[in-house]
Structure 1
Amino acid sequence: MAYKIKYPQNFFLLRGNHECANINRIYGFYDECKRRYSVKLWKTFSDVFNCLPISALIERTILCMHGGLSPQLIDIEQIKNINRPIQVPESGLLCDLLWADPDEGVTGWGSNERGVSYVFGPDVVRSFLRRHDFSLIVRAHQVVEQGYQFGARRGLLTLFSAPNYCGEFDNAGAALSVAEDLTCCFSILPPTKKRSVIRSSNR
């Protein structure tokens, strides 16, 4: 967020499912704000989170969001028409964009083991891409071992940038760079213990 303030034309933030007061109130952000600063700061962050964009479209061909697709998403204009500030509802389009997950073993839509939103199959992704003439959906929301993982015949990319997530996973993190010609390349952030092994082997 500091980079967005410093370089507003170069950094673009999207809302995730944890940019929601009733989620980060439970999972540590509230406690950290209270311990280091004040509850007032947490409330200010919550107000900011309610204003964050939901998705981004790169050159009208790569659609980005935190979670995934929604059975209610027929037209991209629907996302533009979500009025902000807004709190995340328990169901519906906004909820799905922040909470839905792809599942290679599903056809169509299925129930999500998170208890929120849906899982969607590769057929849903391919149909969506064809309908809107997009080439790729980029989303986050799930830890993947190498930091990134393709699905739906490379029509969907899960991108996860935090290595050693919560100290519980031995995952790499990854960042995606998209060039002007839409060529994509990855920068990998190896998990800590792998990084230390690499350093010792170079000596």
Structure 2
Amino acid sequence: MKQAVLDVDGIIDALLKVQYMEPNTEVDLPEEQIMLLIEAAQQIFATQPVLLDLQTPIKICGDVHGQFFDLLRLFTMNGFPPECDYLFLGDYVDRGKNSIEVLCLLFAYKVKYPDRIFLLRGNHESDAMNQLYGFCDECVRRYSPLLYLRFEECFKYLPLSALVGRRILCMHGGLSPEITSLDDIASIERPCEIPDEGLVCDLLWADPKRDQEESWCPNERGISYTFNEDVVADFLDKFNLDLICRAHQVVENGYEFFADVQLITLCSAPNYAGELDNAGAVMIVDSDLACSIAVLRPRETERKYLVGDAFFEDDSDPDFMDEDEYS
């Protein structure tokens, strides 16, 4: 019997063909091809560092959560690989209707352009979350339990953090009291599970919290910590960094600053889970480390965004806008 060969271009073409179809349209990719794609992507993840060292310019994206058609909008507005480099901060699956399509497109681009697109692990890249929030059900309904298990194994090899331009530290969740050196992150071994506590847990689960007096407090999520502004300032000073970039939370405008402009939260899933009226955002980091924000508006809504003292009406044709630069 002839051995199957991965057709990366065929996968990408099939996924892009539905771009202008009804949202939530499913793409019927052959399961055998998806299995081969997962294997190829996993091999690349395993050979690249757990703490990525990335150069600029690059575009950084937050949670996607199965919103495949919004991912296509994001690429349409900001450029499809390999037009520019991308870093995604995790949470590709669950809640949305098309988690399989999201993973297959991102994995296919990773295989085709391994040094142009980078994918971090989020807290939803885990069996415990996927059993509860939809990804497991989607895999079993559309394909098989075996495909689901194969995705779960691959998730264990995803990198956990990235250092952009030596000055911007990125992760899905947040900081950890266990970080004494960036080598603590770089030395994490994979494949790894997400434990209930410790460094890996915090990188994927921790949150910043305003007006918190204590540096670290138990997180209301029931796992990991919340940290205050002083923790961020001290961390940046200690490690000679400019910015913490993370995801993990829905924010109304698609992005939100914390501790002045020392930490930014990104969410790239507009109309989160089809229930909220939030925008999505992408952070664009130029070669000189100047940053700007591209906002992906909610579908079929009219909103106003406040940038400084100026309101921007959301009634023009483009689906996004570049906000003020900051440095």
Normalised by the length of structure 1, the TM-score is 0.95
Alignment counterpart, residue 199 of structure 2, candidates 79, 89, 93? 93
Secondary structure of the residue aligned to 2:111 is: helix
The code of the aligned residue for 2:141 comes to R
- AA in 2 matched with 1:109: W
Give how far 1:64 is off. 0.3
Alignment of 1:117-136 (within 5 A): 117-136=224-243
Separation (CA, whole Å) in 2 of partners of 1:94 and 1:195: 40
**Aligned: 1:46 with 2:152:** yes
Secondary structure, in 3 states, of the residue corresponding to 2:315? helix
> What amino acid sits opposite 1:186 in the alignment?
I
For residues 143 and 115 of structure 2, what CA distance do their matches in structure 1 show? Answer: 29
Q: CA deviation at 1:168?
A: 1.5
Report the secondary structure of 2:223's partner residue: coil
CA distance in 2, matches of 1:65, 1:144: 17
Tell me which amino acid in the other structure corresponds to 1:157. I
What is the match of residue 251 of structure 2?
144
SS at match of 1:105: coil
In the TM superposition, residue 199 of structure 1 has moved relative to its aligned partner by 6.3
Matching of residue 25 in structure 1 with residue 131 in structure 2: yes
Name the counterpart of 1:188: 295
The one of 154, 169, 177 equivalent to 2:276 is 169
Of structures 1 and 2, the one scoring higher in RCO (CA 8 A, sep 6+) is 2
Q: Which of 73, 80, 105 is 2:186 aligned to? A: 80
Structure 1, unaligned runs of 5 or more: none
User: Aligned AA for 1:18?
Assistant: H
1:16 matched to 2:122? The reply is: yes
| CA distance, structure 1, for counterparts of residue 108 and residue 254 of structure 2 | 24
Q: CA RMSD in A?
A: 1.4
Aligned residue pairs, count: 200
Per-residue deviation, 1:169: 1.1
How much has 1:124 moved relative to structure 2? 0.2
Show structure 2 runs of 5+ residues with no match: 1-106, 304-313, 318-327
Task: Tell me how far apart the structure 1 counterparts of residues 129 and 276 of structure 2 sit (CA, whole Å).
Answer: 21
Q: Deviations over 1:119-138 (max 9, x none)?
A: 00000000000000000000
Instruction: Report deviation, 1:198.
Output: 3.1
1:65-76 to 2 correspondences below 5 Å: 65-76=171-182
Which residue of 2 is the match for residue 160 of structure 1?
267
Give 1:78 shift. Answer: 0.5
**What residue identity is the alignment partner of 2:253?**
Q
Matches of 2:184 and 2:111 in 1, distance apart?
Answer: 28
1:198 lines up with 2:315 in the alignment: yes
SS for the counterpart of 1:187 is strand
Deviations 1:88-146 (A, max 9, x none): 00100000000000001113011111001000000000000000000000000000000
- Mapped to 1, the partners of 2:250 and 2:292 lie a distance apart of 19
- Give the letter for the 2:121 counterpart: R
